[in-house]
Chain A
Amino acid sequence: MNRRSAIRNAVLFSAGIVLIPSCMEDNKAIFQTKNIKLTGSGERTLQLLCDSILPAGNSFPGAGELKAHEFVLTMMDDCASPEDQAKFSDGLAAFETRSQTTTGQIFTKNSPEQRQNFLVTLEKNKAANDNLAFFYNSTKHFTVQAMTSSKKYMTEIRKYKMVPGPHFKGCVPVGNQV
């Protein structure tokens, strides 16, 4: 029994049936999607997967600070076809099942090492034509994009300037360009 269902049961036993609606809320996702079916636990799994793909530290914000899981959901919810949205939701469920059968525990309960090992197997599985691979590949793609399209990355790493100025030099030595 995981922590959340343990708490839920405790609440049920102590307060009785009156609290069921609010307890059901507990499994509602915080981020509102229009098309993607998403539970609260699914959302937490996705969030932790994003954090595992791009962890915090290393002098650059990780997926958590970048709110990458919200970006993944935004892109899938608004820009993917209904077929791909279904594959994403089913893939998320498959991800949860597979991680549990592999480690004996749900993903959010895994140790960082277990999660990293699971990602390694998914990287090897990424060419597979199944919902799990689709879910993992999409999540990774948009998590990476959340980082590479962030203000900090574009201005500090890529030196992006919206207004480069009027001058263009067609031939300068590598390393000397401003």
Chain B
Amino acid sequence: MGDTKNSFEAIVIGSGMSGGWAAKEFCEKGLKTLLLERGRQVEHLKDYPTTNMQPWEFKHRGQVPYTISKDNPVISRCYAYKEDAMHFFTKDTEHPYEQEKPFDWIRGYQVGGKSIMWARQTQRWSDFDFEGPARDGFAVDWPIRYKDLAPWYSYVEKFAGISGNKDGLDTLPDGEFLPAWELTCVENHFKDIVSKNYADRHVIYARCAHVTSPEPIHIEQGRGQCQTRNLCQRGCPFGGYFNANSTTIPWAQKTGNLTLRTDAVVHSIIFDDTTQKATGVRIIDAHTKQTTEYFAPVIFVNAGAINTNLILLNSVSKRFPNGLGNDAGILGKYFAFHNYRARITAEYDGMLESTTEGGRPTGAYMPRFRNVHKQETDFLRGYATTFSAGRQTIDPVIDGLAGEELKRSLLNVQKTGRWSVGSQCMGETIPKITNYVSLSESKKDEWGMPLINFSVAYDDNDEKMIKDFFQQYTEMYTKAGFTNIKVSDSKQAPGLDIHEMGGVRMGKDPKTSLLNEWNQLHACKNVFVTDGACMTSTSTQNPSLTYMALTARAANHAVELLKKGEL
């Protein structure tokens, strides 16, 4: 083992959504922990340069300059890549990759990762999700069930601060909730129509990681009540939503046990053929390109699903010539994502005497209702959907006007138009061996790492699901009296959903999976993977909450094993 300066009791690779949790758990339990981050430092409050900027203070009023969007077409397709938050996204040119098939890889290389800019939706999984692969005969059976994760959902929800209602649904278990915001009049109208017409469909308030009413734990974190600014992607001056920068990382730092090493591109995990264990991590300094090795008895890989696959694939040894823990030969395979192509919008002419007041950083949500208890459609699994309804702000007429008339028109703002309603389909995709990430055979990046290559695509199941979403929602919208119903298929490439998952899946059998029920590599037990890479199937929920719960659970298990001398 290396010198003491480079030796720790735990190493966590990646400081984002899940890595922050691993660091917090280890530090709280007294372990000297090294947290590695490939990007730069972003300190809560201090490094949110645009957070208090008014809209008119942005030189281009939010638009990204042409030369940047031209050179970076992938990141420019991300909905949040705007002038106010573009500094938190990784440009295409900063870390190139190969696309055997088109894949939009959205990244945020910095302390906090994408937890700074995420959409903050936090719905639990249920056993209808965990039992999916076994029941429907795809992927492999999850080695865990809802009861294994439930206490850890509660654990992370209380700390992160989740706003929600107890809805009593078996498809979407209740959690530890801070107060919910209200649904709008038309969201409640839709909820009523849906529950009258469909026994198994429920419109609920979408649970989100916002502190609507701070508990003592949030005050202790230095976070305050969400002020509904809806500018979360810039970082929040109130700490009103959960990100690693405001919550898990400072908590870990407060223990005095954390060493945060930024600008550290992980090259590989070091495997010792004598002890048959991983001993540490080899990093390359992002700027000096100098190699350094760090050592610890336990290593958590939380680099973000794709970079986690990359690191493991690049960690070759005599024992593991095809990547660390890759006895099954499926590392990088069964890669999946969420189908976010389909949307529906409409208008509503009723309830024109009512409107909303203030902002709200969430909306309504309908959990999956297709194929829940049994297979009933010509496609597997199903989709969850968002639902939101608000009064339109009518833009003043400008067409055909110039001069005095135009100016009068602009000053005559009608406050409210009709109601606009809309839903986004969030479909489960089926992990397949043919959907994979792999290492480029010839090309390397500036740190000497092979480029990652994507071969991930939609399939017939996804197409059928989109069709069903359009049919079902057109029917529900029609029943609700909505008009001007429009469906659209963005045809966007996989990846733009920013819910990339799999490649290092959990499972019971080392022959068909890489991780066991505690997220340990079957074949190298002191390496844990608890980010999106570990996912055996995708379900329909925004996955971050599940990564957090899996991470806290695995980290606490790792501490127990360490205590028992079993790692």
What residues make up the interface of A, taking CB atoms closer than 8 Å to B?
52-55, 58-60, 62, 74-75, 78-81, 116, 119-120, 122-123, 140, 144-145, 147-151, 153-154, 157-158, 160, 162-174, 177-178
> Which 3 interchain pairs have the tightest Cβ spacing?
A170-B182, A171-B185, A119-B402
Report whether B63 and A174 are in contact in the complex, using a CB–CB cutoff of 8 Å.
no
Report if B403 contacts A (CB, 8 A): yes
| The residue from B70, B359, B398 contacting A164, defined by CB atoms under 8 A apart | B359
Report whether B353 and A148 are in contact in the complex, using a CB–CB cutoff of 8 Å.
no
Stretch at the interface among B2-10, B97-105, B153-161, B224-232: B224-232
Report whether A171 and B188 are in contact in the complex, using a CB–CB cutoff of 8 Å.
yes
Report whether B226 and A147 are in contact in the complex, using a CB–CB cutoff of 8 Å.
no
Question: A83 to chain B: closest CB distance in Å?
Answer: 10
Query: Given the complex of chains A and B, what is the CA–CA distance between A147 and B56 in angstroms?
Result: 10
Report whether B56 and A78 are in contact in the complex, using a CB–CB cutoff of 8 Å.
no
Q: A54-B406, A75-B63 are in contact. Are A149 and B356 (CB under 8 A)?
A: no
In the complex, which residue of chain B has the Cβ closest to the Cβ of A144? B398
Question: B423 to chain A: closest CB distance in Å?
Answer: 17
| The residue from A79, A157, A174, A177 contacting B411, defined by CB atoms under 8 A apart | A157
Report whether A60 and B411 are in contact in the complex, using a CB–CB cutoff of 8 Å.
yes
Report whether A53 and B402 are in contact in the complex, using a CB–CB cutoff of 8 Å.
yes
Q: A165-B358, A174-B353 are in contact. Are A154 and B56 (CB under 8 A)?
A: yes
Report if B287 contacts A (CB, 8 A): no
| The residue from B359, B404, B413 contacting A55, defined by CB atoms under 8 A apart | B404
Report if B60 contacts A (CB, 8 A): yes
Report whether B354 and A174 are in contact in the complex, using a CB–CB cutoff of 8 Å.
yes
Report if B184 contacts A (CB, 8 A): yes
Question: B111 to chain A: closest CB distance in Å?
Answer: 26
Query: Given the complex of chains A and B, what is the CA–CA distance between A75 and B58 in angstroms?
Result: 12
Q: Size band of the B side of the interface?
A: 35 or more
What residues make up the interface of B, taking CB atoms closer than 8 Å to A?
52, 54-56, 59-61, 63-66, 70, 181-185, 187-188, 212, 225-229, 231, 352-360, 393, 398, 400-404, 406-408, 410-411, 413, 415-416
Query: Given the complex of chains A and B, what is the CA–CA distance between A157 and B187 in angstroms?
Result: 28
Q: A78-B66, A178-B357 are in contact. Are A168 and B411 (CB under 8 A)?
A: no
Report whether B402 and A120 are in contact in the complex, using a CB–CB cutoff of 8 Å.
yes
Report whether A177 and B355 are in contact in the complex, using a CB–CB cutoff of 8 Å.
yes
Query: Given the complex of chains A and B, what is the CA–CA distance between A174 and B392 in angstroms?
Result: 13
Report whether B402 and A169 are in contact in the complex, using a CB–CB cutoff of 8 Å.
no
In the complex, chain A residues whose CB is within 8 Å of the CB of B353: 173-174
Question: B140 to chain A: closest CB distance in Å?
Answer: 43
Report whether B358 and A116 are in contact in the complex, using a CB–CB cutoff of 8 Å.
no
| The residue from A60, A119, A157, A177 contacting B357, defined by CB atoms under 8 A apart | A177
Report whether A172 and B228 are in contact in the complex, using a CB–CB cutoff of 8 Å.
no
In the complex, chain B residues whose CB is within 8 Å of the CB of A163: 227, 229
| The residue from B65, B228, B416 contacting A165, defined by CB atoms under 8 A apart | B228
Query: Given the complex of chains A and B, what is the CA–CA distance between A123 and B408 in angstroms?
Result: 17
Query: Given the complex of chains A and B, what is the CA–CA distance between A174 and B394 in angstroms?
Result: 14
Report whether A58 and B408 are in contact in the complex, using a CB–CB cutoff of 8 Å.
yes
Report whether B55 and A169 are in contact in the complex, using a CB–CB cutoff of 8 Å.
no
Query: Given the complex of chains A and B, what is the CA–CA distance between A126 and B360 in angstroms?
Result: 39
A–B pairs, 14, beta carbons within 8 Å: A53-B402, A74-B60, A75-B60, A78-B59, A147-B407, A151-B54, A154-B54, A154-B55, A158-B393, A164-B229, A168-B181, A170-B188, A172-B355, A174-B415
